[in-house]
Chains A and B, each alone.
Chain A
Amino acid sequence: MLTDKLTIVLGERDGIAGPAIAACVKAAKGEVAFASTECFV
Chain B
Amino acid sequence: MDLQSQEVIKRLAEEHGADRLLVLLGAPDPEAAEIAAETVVLGDPTYAGALAETQLGLEVYHVLEDDIRMQIPPEVFEEQIGVMADVLDAAGLAEAVAGMRAKRP
Contact = CB atoms under 8 A, between A and B. Distances in A.
B74 to A, nearest CB: 10
Contacts of B2: 36, 38
A38 B1 contact: yes
* Chain B interface size, under 10 / 10 to 19 / 20 to 34 / 35 or more: 35 or more
A25 to B, nearest CB: 7
Contact of A12 (B23, B28, B58): B28
Chain A residues touching B, majority SS = mixed
Interface in B51-69: 58-59, 63-64, 67-68
A13 to B, nearest CB: 9
B84 A2 contact: no
Interface of A: 1-3, 5-12, 14-18, 20-21, 23-25, 27-28, 30, 33-34, 36-38, 40
Given A7-B24, A8-B58, A40-B32, 13 more contacts: A1-B67, A3-B71, A6-B20, A6-B22, A8-B12, A10-B36, A15-B27, A15-B32, A16-B84, A21-B80, A24-B76, A27-B76, A38-B5
